[in-house]
Amino acid sequence: MRIDFQTHPSRYRHWRLSCSGPVAELVMDVDPTASLFPGCELKLNSYDLGVDIELADAVQRLRFEHPEVRAVVLRSGKPGVFCAGANIRMLGRASHGHKVNFCKFTNETRLAIEEASAESRQPWLAAVSGAAAGGGYELALACAHILLIDDRRSSVALPEVPLLGVLPATGGLTRLTDKRRVRRDRADLFCCTEEGARGARALDWRLVDEIVPPSRWDAAVAARAQALAADSDRPEHARGIVLAPLERRFTDDAVQYSTVEVALDRTGRRATITLRGPEALPTDLAGIHAEGCAYWPLRAARELDDAILHLRSNEPALGLWVLRTEGDPAAVLAADALLEAHAGDWLVREIRLLWKRVLKRLDVTSRSLVALIEPGSCFAGTLAELAFAADRAIMFAGPAPGGNHAPARLALSPLNFGPYPMGNGLTRLATRFLGEPDSVGRAHGAIGAALDAATADELGLVTAAIDAIDWDDELRVMLEERASFSPDALSAMEANLRFAGPETMETRIFGRLSAWQNWVFQRPGAVGEAGALHRYGSGVKPIFDPERV
């Protein structure tokens, strides 16, 4: 079954989205019969990947299609429960790879909610009525503000350790300590208590921001949403743009979009992703708004994002991704200049933030990334970030024999020096040059220049510059060697090397929490025949290996 990450509110099975002036309401009302896993019932607002795909779509549409929305209220459509978290039957039946990809996508979606609150100035408010357990509480934790109804029944909990023998997989542990500043001993007690915390204790331990009696619940939610909206800078009367369905064509050995093409080489266990630069661009801000989702930077970002997600979930054996571009570097720099000149516009802000998210998704993808900077390529500005995200960037030196293209060039723009930080809070160039900060300054001095292979190599912007005589042989050996290594060892090595420098809440979520959860998901205490995920709900206690590893 091919998992499709594209959807539309008209096809939602699990969410209801409504907008009324400055406040939108997103209601979680999961259809228990609509799981991606046949025969798996999504009870009590529990979720699987399909539920989260719709949530990610709603987050994106609220940012692009509804600039007038200045606050989002997240609430449950089911009485007595906010969200029971990830569906346990699904976790028990899913392959290890699916579980890991599910957790990764869910983490990315929660981070997108936090970015919407902090950078799109569209803060999210979690109105928790009923039990918010596990991933349900993690969903609330991603919001800018949490209200809990104080009705002696509603609670927040992270019961994965005592109940399931696994960890909260969507940043719950990290957000308790790093975001909400919950005391370590209290966090330990909270995470080992199945029933979680209610009322005054939840407030006192900073697990929620407010508790409200039932008599004032609706009024308090509305008042808090209006207060959050009043503090936003989003334009009240602007018109959003419609995110039209992507143009895609799937064949046995390729996926084709309007600006992106993915060639699938299953024998070589690699995918080649080629992104085409712009052919025509508007000249002003009005033109950007008129083009809407057809505007090249937005269209290319959406298509690349979909390609990344498709390859992650549907082509797990293609462990090597070759990144290519085609087009005029000057046209890409012109697109960047527009994004820089109009950075204060709400739509331009969203386009830049989308590119930031797409590039971050590439950073945390467990695939080897090799960028090929060839004659006819356009690794410039925003697209140069693909080369800096790659584990290796190889540049063709000199003209290609018999070719019609000019020699390969690499170019930088101001967007390479701030707007697209990695999860560690640094730009890819700052991360690349962590031990040689002067190199960042030298690269900054080359903004706008068409850098040939020798200059790019001298500046440290590429891994190697190879001439026509050696290009084919060296490239073949490098790609074949990479594909021959242990995929497990490569995933671990790449994840370590890509994130040099400071730790942040985001790097801890992906590096520390995800790595441990990945390990726990393979242990018999969780997924063995006598493990907690298989015996959950059976009345039979799980069996845990007593030896600590």
Quote the CA–CA distance of 189 and 178 in Å, as a whole number.
Answer: 17
Residue type, 341: A
Residue 172 φ/ψ, nearest 5 degrees: -60, -45
CB atoms within 10 A of CB 473: 10
CA dihedral 358, 359, 360, 362 (to 10 degrees): 90
Pair 9, 48: CB distance under 8 Å: no
Print pLDDT tens along the chain (549 aa).
899 999 999 999 999 999 999 999 999 999 999 999 988 999 999 999 999 999 999 999 999 999 999 999 999 999 999 999 999 989 888 999 999 999 999 999 999 999 999 999 999 999 999 999 999 999 999 999 999 999 999 999 999 999 999 999 889 999 999 999 999 999 999 999 999 999 999 999 999 999 999 999 999 999 999 999 999 999 999 999 999 999 999 999 999 999 999 999 999 999 999 999 999 999 999 999 999 999 999 999 999 999 999 999 999 999 999 999 999 999 999 999 999 999 999 999 999 999 999 999 999 999 999 999 999 999 999 999 999 999 999 999 998 887 788 899 999 999 999 999 999 999 999 999 999 999 999 999 999 999 999 999 999 999 999 999 999 999 999 999 999 999 999 999 999 999 899 999 999 999 887 788 888 988 999 989 999 988 988 999 999 999 988
Domains of the chain: 9-230 (3.90.226.10), 249-497 (3.90.226.10)
Beta-bridge partners for 76? 28
Q: In terms of Cα–Cα distance, which of 537, 547, 458 is closest to 46?
A: 537
Quote the CA–CA distance of 360 and 315 in Å, as a whole number.
Answer: 20
Two tokens at 412? 């930088």
Instruction: Write the CB contacts of 358 (distance below 8 Å, at least 6 apart in sequence).
Output: 301, 304, 305, 308
Residue type, 78: K
- Alpha carbon 45 to its chain centroid, in Å, reads 23
pLDDT at 365: 96
Two tokens at 534? 């298989």
